[in-house]
A and B are shown apart, each in its own frame.
Chain A
Amino acid sequence: MSTSEEPEKLYAAREPVFPRRVKGDFRNLKWWLMGLMLGIYYITPWIRWDRGPAMPDQAVLVDLANRRFFFFMVEIWPHEFYFVAGLLIMAGIGLFLFTSALGRVWCGYACPQTVWTDLYILVERWVEGDRNARLRLYRQPWGPEKIRKYGTKWLLWLLIGLATGGAWVFYFTDAPQLLVDLVTFNAHPVAYGTIAFLTATTFLFGGFFREQVCIYGCPWPRIQAAMMDEDTITISYREWRGEPRGKMKKGALDPNQGDCIDCMACVNVCPMGIDIRDGQQLACITCGLCIDACNDVMDKIGKPRGLIGYLALSDEVRERAGNAPKSVWKHVFRPRTIVYTVLWAGIGVGLLVALFLRTDIDMSISPIRNPTYVTLSSGAIRNAYDIRLRNMNAEPRQFYLTVANEPSITLTMEGVQGQLVTVGPDEQLIQRVYLTAAAGTDAATTASTPVRLWVSVTGETDRIHGDTVFNGREQ
């Protein structure tokens, strides 16, 4: 509170935004992307993928209860969580890449908040009409028309929210079965609770919170500012071309005025309720709708398009000086974006290699340290190990365990004859394994001997090893 004589209001109500309908290239792109992304979101859980009788047949399934993640032919176990971590890192670097190259392109086109708000505004327009009709309805007192239209709109919003929350839970269990359970009221309370929660958040965020989520709630706009530089493509108003702005008089422009006729088309279509002519700002999600709106007006008044357009900061300087802007590709391909791309691709290739090189058997060894060794009646020294054997395969398989590089050590297993143990399909087994060194051998009489255990599967060539130590009785 600095200079004003009357104290500023501490709190202010939201000024609702009523974006006008717009047609154009960017609007079309956004429609296509919306359809694509909503389609992926709603349809994916219903894709089937045959993995054999012992396994779920849902192509994409986050099976929290059994600690598995299925993605088409890929199955991730909890100990392979680094794949998920790698994907998250790739998502992060991907955002860096797109932000440094194209600004807030994620916010404008792909963010669920943007996509669902877009969908909700579409519904709003269907029910209530375009901007002016909506404004009029908003301002008129409650009456039959307003109740009917707002009620219809809210009902449709709620149904979309319900479908959104409903689709979410299908990712976590068998979708067809869950749908049956849901409609027959046999599903788990967690499913209903999740749907209710996501319905409520979708309804509130898409219908009422809208741009406030981006402005007050989301950290990404603040972080993005640090990733943009003078080569980043953002949405700009060419004020050196547009100013001084002024209304058209008698259907003609004053020769001294700029191209901007102050028609407010760019403001009226903005879902964030801002004026792009104020320059780049926190609230701008760079959705491109103001470009479509302005181009439309420029066509009508016979001026060249692009009064508002995608532009880099360095181009602004060039254009002001009367030079041609750099090509988009020269902005996009610069050391910074290339480094991001290389990092992103490097991690991606690394993950792919890891994915194709991994075996579908795995073991981890935990030596029993209490007691460290047991003296048997023959004088032999025995160590015990709990070995976790993972059978990452849809068939039950026989695992064959051997010990390498120490001929004096023999391997036996608790409760199992021989060295073969069966592990069920897509299961793990913790097997107690004994290594015994005969009396007087080196391994039996030295404190610690490194040993390597090998695991192979009957009838297959892949085999894996694990290293541990054998503790003898020092003499």
Chain B
Amino acid sequence: MHPERLAAIGDTTELERIRQFVEVKARSFGFSEPGIHKIALAVDEACSNLIRHSYQSDTSREFYVDIAEQDPNAFVIEISDTGTAFDPLNVPAPNLREYAAQHRKGGFGVHIIRMVMDAVEYLPADPAHPFNRLKLVKHLS
């Protein structure tokens, strides 16, 4: 039993349930509605990328969303997956006019995550840790 963990599969139908889980946790941590929205949005963006690009919507694959309350002022979400390592911190900021000219519909999620969270850390899987871990941190202000 891990009450702060949500297990999800590689299916975008999971996004609503993931947002609900994170919203409930962020609200009880003490965030007001704008903060709750930003946290849920960042987690949605990270999980959307994971489901569609890394897991290719393979519903047999699982990932986890954990809430780690290490510090009374810092809300920490950790997303663990077994896909190919992808460091979102290496993605450049999108150029809107270029994207429109190219009819590109993706590539914004990472930028949103970096803008709405206070800290983002990516730890690729290694022999000691079989999961890639994306840590998202938001401070209570």
Q: Do A and B come from one complex?
A: no
